[in-house]
Structure 1
């Protein structure tokens, strides 16, 4: 299915979706929260029964990340770098060792309650998609990269108008950032096969919610074509 007809919600069921016009000179790539804490796993055989059940539930996410998402982000990084376009990275990390600077969304009990001090291994971006020396990395203690950092100012200063977004998690930090970007009138593209949520169902639901309102959802291949780099 072509990108204009994928992920249509009821709001846009009968709408005519306009063509995308991406000016590479004003387009940046934003990679969100591809960090060690989310990609490293314990050895399954060393876990108890309850922990193994949770481990198994997360296996589809890890398979998607390693088989599709990370390779596609690597490809996008390569092309943006080759074409001398700006690349931004975000990561969740607190500035205090006890995490008291985190926003409420990063303190709630359960999955989001991760203590990720700035300089610890868990908070670092994984080597496979690590930033180069001249690429900007913003640290945030919120879901939205705009709310939790000076990213908005940086994008305006660097004359970025179109932002290609990839990363994790589709229904959390990706979605929150995309909504903030749209509210600031940036033109946002979300890379379907460059993102993941805890499950494919959550991923697809969130893309359906944000598509055509806050962004356009496209595949890696579509993005490359629209930028004229294919």
Structure 2
């Protein structure tokens, strides 16, 4: 089964296969969402550390290497590589959106210049690459990214990052609403659990984006 038949939700069972994609180098960009130091640190609580171990394993063994590989391929073709991260402008986080102030796991206080808010070293932006900082889930809602992409002539956005069911999904939906063509690279994304990851891929696939593997994308775009 390839990307045209995979990750289908209830709504798209039996629907015609999508058309072949025309992802031209000059109007296609790679965007990586929120792969930051804070999410790769093992929790101090041993129970939480164990609970999140499968996520960190997927990130270290699959997502980060596959994302770095795609970034390098885009750079070799002189294509645009962009980055988004969660980071507030004020140390006390008053500029954060409500979703980042709520108690619990999603409470995020990541001032701009702290170590926790930085992109992981393996995926550090190259010189001259655009990095946007956001205090929202969607990378479009909280930044000028929509305007920047339009000004650059970008029509197709290739998405990597975390978390599939949160900031990735929110950004995908925002991009789709702005009439960008979006491709989500399955092995370059992760959620807290594989179940959440694959379920969200089914929800957003075909209506807001197309979901495929990095190998399929490399073949389609001739990025070898």
Residue 120 (1) aligns with residue 93 (2): no
After superposition, residues 143-154 of structure 1 pair within 5 angstroms as 143-154=137-148
CA shift for structure 1 position 63: 0.4
Aligned counterpart, 1:198: 192
Q: Shift of residue 24 of structure 1?
A: 1.6
Q: Structure 1 stretches (4+) deviating beyond 3 angstroms?
A: none
Per-residue Cα deviation, 1:34-74 (whole angstroms, up to 9, x for no partner): 100001225xxxx5xxx211111100000000000000001
Please state if 1:33 is matched with 2:34: yes
1:6-51 Cα deviation digits (max 9, x unpaired): 1101111111122222112110000000100001225xxxx5xxx2
* Count, aligned residues: 223
Q: Shift of residue 120 of structure 1?
A: 0.6
Deviations 1:169-220 (A, max 9, x none): 0000000000000000000000000000000000001000000000000100
Q: What's 1:9 paired with?
A: 9
TM-score by length of 2: 0.98
| Equivalent residue number for residue 208 of structure 2 | 214
Map 1:14-163 to 2 at 5 A.
14-17=14-17, 18-42=19-43, 47=44, 51-163=45-157
Q: What is the CA–CA distance in structure 2 between the aligned matches of 1:107 and 1:191, rounded to whole Å?
A: 29
Unpaired stretches in structure 2, ≥5 consecutive residues = none
TM-score by length of 1: 0.95
In structure 1, what is the Cα distance between the partners aligned to 2:142 and 2:200?
21
CA shift for structure 1 position 108: 1.1
Other structure's SS at 1:222 match: helix
Q: Distance in 1 between matches of 2:181 and 2:25?
A: 12
In 2, Cα distance between the equivalents of 1:53 and 1:41? 11
Task: In structure 1, list runs of 5 or more residues that go unmatched.
Answer: none
Counterpart in 2 of 1:179?
Answer: 173
